């Protein structure tokens, strides 16, 4: 890499860490985008990766503060989860207000708008993040002040994983989304070594049941679909392997899924969400390119991972800020203007984009320092 390119990369690395810390609320939450009107919330999903990137940067107190903020939200919803348990047992008709939200105000309050908010993937992502924190800080046990919230998350996932929900893009609320299920199974199985016997059994049993369900509903052509019954693929399906390890990267269905993502959704260095996406035209999403690059590293495809990192860096504006997506390639160019009229320009900066840049850069640096065999061995044993 040329010296000037290396300097730009290191500058962006430092500036991205500073940006994430700058926009962490004193309570611990992270705003999705400080300048985009619709993203003035903290999403559990986005923030799990934002916090993880800061964990890699050794910003331990920042990560602990975020987890404590999320823990408080679970404790505040204790009665709601108990009531949901009763409703499920009674086979009652559930409404969205009976379920936990995916996003909250920066102070931890529920979002009162009617924008779709039932997306349970973030609760699995939170369990995964907590596990990464415990492993990184060499904790031997879950801190006592987090135990109740973790028990509530496990109880909640057991109750809701079979229910249809909006996907991670706030769409298709009547479907069962495979990337959502990946987050739930991966979160349960990652935290299970830190649980006491009864809860460990519950987490492992539910995680295994979700994996079995996903596989049983794979497409007959041997790949995992965007949602059950759909022929589409979605770039978020990479989560099945990276980082949630519900299926190994070498699993034939996983390999076929990634091949379809590459063939149908990867263009000029960036990846789309799915083929029929028209949000701001359905452009190339920086966070998803980060996940694909991370997956490439875990399968020994270093050069392709570095190409995706280079593409992400090339999307920054004059201030070094990264957007949510770019429209150099779209599904429907005519849909850019209607969204701009409705909500303004594409979100920039998006903290999730900066987080995924950092994660991919950290992983590449670690890969280069450890070597391919050691890196793969380390990731298999996580």
CATH number at residue 245: 1.50.10.10
For 200, counting Cβ atoms within 10 Å of its Cβ (0-12 exposed, 13-18 middle, 19+ buried), the class is middle
For residue 10, tell me if it sits in a domain: yes
Lowest mean pLDDT among 70-74, 111-115, 145-149, 298-302: 111-115
Question: Looking at the predicted structure, is the pLDDT value of residue 1 above 90?
Answer: no
pLDDT at 380: 39
Question: Looking at the predicted structure, is the pLDDT value of residue 147 above 50?
Answer: yes
For residue 373, tell me if it sits in a domain: no
Q: What is the pLDDT of residues 76-124, one digit of tens each?
A: 999 999 999 999 999 999 999 999 999 999 999 999 888 889 999 999 9
For residue 299, tell me if it sits in a domain: yes
For the chain, the straight-line distance linking the first and the last C-alpha, in angstroms and rounded, comes to: 30
Mean pLDDT, all residues of the chain: 95
Q: What is the dihedral of CA 283, 100, 161, 381, to 10 degrees?
A: 70
Question: Looking at the predicted structure, is the pLDDT value of residue 31 above 50?
Answer: yes
pLDDT at 382: 35
Strand partners, 110: 104
Mean pLDDT over 8-22 rounds to: 96
pLDDT at 6: 82
For residue 337, tell me if it sits in a domain: yes
Domains held by the chain: number: 1
For residue 381, tell me if it sits in a domain: no
Nearest to 184 by CA among 254, 120, 135, 104: 120
pLDDT at 51: 98
For residue 378, tell me if it sits in a domain: no
pLDDT at 175: 98
pLDDT at 165: 97
For residue 229, tell me if it sits in a domain: yes
Q: What is the pLDDT of residues 204-233, one digit of tens each?
A: 999 999 999 999 999 999 999 999 999 999
Question: Looking at the predicted structure, is the pLDDT value of residue 4 above 80?
Answer: no
Using pLDDT thresholds of 50, 70 and 90, give the confidence band for residue 372.
low
CA-to-CA dists, residue 162 to 153, 175, 238, 312, 378, angstroms: 15, 10, 21, 36, 33
Angle, to 10 degrees, between the axis of helix 3-22 and the axis of helix 351-370? Answer: 130
- The whole domain housing 98 covers 3-367
Mean pLDDT over 337-365 rounds to: 98
Question: Looking at the predicted structure, is the pLDDT value of residue 377 above 60?
Answer: no
Q: What is the pLDDT of residues 276-313, one digit of tens each?
A: 999 999 999 999 999 999 999 999 999 999 999 999 99
354-373 burial code (b ≥16 CB/10 A, e <16):
bbbbbbbbbbbeebeeeeee
As a whole-number percent, the residues of the chain with pLDDT over 70 amount to 96
The residue count of the chain comes to 382
For residue 209, tell me if it sits in a domain: yes
């Amino acid at each position: 890499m040329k010296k000037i390119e290396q300097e730009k990369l290191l500058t962006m690395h430092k500036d991205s860490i500073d940006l994430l810390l700058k926009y962490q609320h004193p309570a611990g939450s992270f705003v999705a985008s400080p300048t985009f009107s619709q993203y003035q919330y903290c999403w559990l999903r986005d923030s799990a990766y934002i916090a993880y990137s800061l964990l890699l940067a050794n910003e331990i107190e920042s990560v602990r503060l975020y987890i404590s903020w999320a823990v408080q939200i679970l404790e505040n919803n204790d009665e709601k989860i108990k009531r949901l348990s009763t409703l499920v047992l009674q086979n009652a008709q559930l409404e969205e207000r009976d379920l936990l939200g995916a996003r909250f105000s920066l102070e931890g309050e529920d979002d009162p708008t009617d924008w779709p908010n039932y997306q349970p993937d973030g609760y699995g992502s939170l369990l995964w993040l907590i596990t990464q924190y415990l492993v990184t800080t060499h904790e031997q046990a879950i801190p006592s002040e987090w135990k109740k919230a973790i028990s509530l998350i496990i109880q909640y996932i057991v109750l809701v994983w079979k229910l249809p929900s909006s996907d991670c893009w706030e769409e298709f609320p009547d479907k069962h989304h495979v990337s959502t299920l990946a987050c739930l199974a991966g979160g349960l199985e990652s935290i299970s070594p830190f649980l006491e016997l009864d809860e460990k059994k519950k987490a492992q049993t539910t995680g295994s049941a979700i994996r079995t369900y996903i596989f049983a509903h794979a497409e007959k052509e041997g790949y995992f679909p965007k949602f059950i019954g759909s022929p589409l693929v979605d770039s978020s399906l990479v989560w099945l392997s990276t980082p949630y390890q519900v299926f190994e990267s070498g699993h034939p269905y996983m390999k076929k899924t990634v091949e379809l993502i590459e063939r149908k959704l990867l263009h000029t260095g960036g990846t789309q969400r799915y083929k029929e996406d028209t949000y701001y035209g359905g452009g190339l999403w920086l966070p998803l390119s980060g996940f694909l690059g991370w997956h490439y590293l875990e399968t020994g495809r270093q050069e392709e991972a570095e190409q995706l990192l280079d593409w992400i860096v090339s999307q920054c504006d004059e201030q070094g800020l990264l957007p949510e997506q770019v429209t150099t390639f779209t599904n429907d160019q005519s849909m850019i203007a209607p969204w701009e009229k409705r909500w303004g320009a594409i979100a920039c900066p998006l903290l999730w984009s900066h987080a995924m840049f950092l994660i991919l850069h950290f992983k590449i640096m670690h890969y280069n320092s450890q070597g391919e065999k050691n890196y793969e061995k380390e990731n298999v044993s996580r």
